[in-house]
């Protein structure tokens, strides 16, 4: 158990929020509860009122919000001088005052943060053509992925010696997907193109796939009034959208 827990557990006695009136009351008590609640990834329901009070401190000018939150956290009597312990506690308060809700450092929040970027695609097959993609310079689309980067303050907060927060891990490849692929939850890998000119044009790589990984598109091609059928064979490659976890 970290030093902050020891200090605040002493202040709050056996029950974290059962504080004697003559020890901590009002905003002093609330400030201490905020420090305790934000130091751990496990928060009881008793944390809701003090956290709501803290995050309601907002002004139009960011620097005023920062100063007001900093002053509020200073109400908790943890700093007694310029010792190393006090400097560390002061640093912890500064981190909390500077940034938004530490929930932004958790997998449920991070897995909702989409990021756009450039992704290439091919119009040599019917899949993208059927999805409405057009020829443009280098066939570049505005792709999407789960952002692989946490807010920068998360690292300072999670690694601080007065917190007991877990470091999330990013488990996806980080590649961008076309909007269509993202909505489908999979991309298609072209394995081969067959024609009715050949008796058996299905590629063996496609034949050997499980049925739930097969996808094919067939269409007719006119060629001087002697048309023929073409089939494109794809492998369905599903990808994970839940990229962040502990």
Handedness of CA 101, 103, 109, 110 (dihedral sign): positive
Q: Are residues 216 and 118 in the same domain?
A: yes
Q: Are residues 34 and 56 in the same domain?
A: yes
Q: Is residue 139 part of a domain?
A: yes
pLDDT tens digits, residue range 129-153?
655 555 544 556 689 999 999 998 8
Structural domain of 66: 3-98
Q: Are residues 120 and 184 in the same domain?
A: yes
Average pLDDT, whole number, for the chain?
78
Q: Are residues 72 and 36 in the same domain?
A: yes
How many domains would you assign to the chain? Answer: 2
Q: Are residues 118 and 229 in the same domain?
A: yes
Q: Is residue 79 part of a domain?
A: yes
Its pTM surpasses 0.85: no
Q: Are residues 114 and 213 in the same domain?
A: yes
Q: Are residues 17 and 50 in the same domain?
A: yes
**How far apart (Å, rounded) are the C-alpha atoms in residues 229 and 221?**
6
pLDDT tens digits, residue range 148-181?
999 988 988 888 776 778 899 999 999 999 888 9
The reported pLDDT for the residue numbered 14 is 36
The reported pLDDT for the residue numbered 10 is 43
Q: Are residues 231 and 127 in the same domain?
A: yes
H helices of the chain, in order, are 3-12, 26-37, 48-55, 62-73, 84-98, 107-110, 126-130, 152-158, 179-184, 204-207
Our CA angle for 63, 156, 91, nearest 5°, is: 60
**How far apart (Å, rounded) are the C-alpha atoms in residues 225 and 127?**
25
Q: Is residue 220 part of a domain?
A: yes
Over residues 193-198, the mean pLDDT reads 73
pLDDT > 90? residue 87: no
Q: Which residue has the tokens 């943060």?
A: 113
**How far apart (Å, rounded) are the C-alpha atoms in residues 242 and 94?**
32
Neighbours of 11 (CB within 10 A): 20
The reported pLDDT for the residue numbered 83 is 52
Q: Are residues 77 and 116 in the same domain?
A: no
Q: Is residue 46 part of a domain?
A: yes
pLDDT > 70? residue 232: yes
pLDDT > 90? residue 120: no
The reported pLDDT for the residue numbered 11 is 45
Q: Are residues 114 and 235 in the same domain?
A: yes
Q: Are residues 116 and 89 in the same domain?
A: no
Q: Is residue 28 part of a domain?
A: yes
Q: Is residue 126 part of a domain?
A: yes
């Amino acid at each position: 158990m970290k030093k902050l827990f020891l200090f605040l557990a002493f202040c709050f006695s056996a029950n974290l929020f059962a504080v004697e009136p003559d020890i901590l009351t009002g905003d002093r008590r609330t400030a201490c509860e905020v420090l305790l609640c934000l130091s751990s990834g496990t928060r009881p329901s008793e944390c809701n009122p003090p956290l709501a009070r803290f995050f309601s401190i907002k002004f139009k000018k960011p620097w005023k919000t920062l100063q007001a939150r900093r002053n509020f956290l200073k109400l908790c009597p943890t700093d007694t001088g310029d010792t190393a312990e006090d400097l560390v506690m002061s640093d912890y308060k500064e981190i909390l005052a500077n940034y938004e809700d530490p929930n932004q450092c958790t997998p449920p929040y991070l897995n909702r943060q989409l990021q756009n970027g450039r992704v290439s695609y091919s119009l040599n097959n019917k899949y993208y053509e059927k999805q409405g993609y057009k020829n443009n310079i280098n066939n570049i689309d505005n792709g999407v992925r789960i952002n692989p980067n946490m807010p920068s303050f998360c690292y300072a907060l999670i690694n601080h010696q007065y917190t007991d927060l877990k470091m999330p891990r990013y488990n996806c490849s980080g590649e961008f997907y076309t909007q269509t692929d993202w909505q489908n939850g999979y991309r298609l890998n072209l394995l081969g193109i067959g024609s009715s000119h050949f008796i058996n044009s299905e590629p063996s790589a496609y034949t050997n796939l499980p049925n739930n990984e097969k996808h094919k598109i067939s269409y007719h091609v006119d060629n001087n009034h002697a048309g023929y059928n073409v089939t494109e064979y794809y492998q369905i490659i599903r990808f994970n959208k839940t990229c962040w976890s502990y």
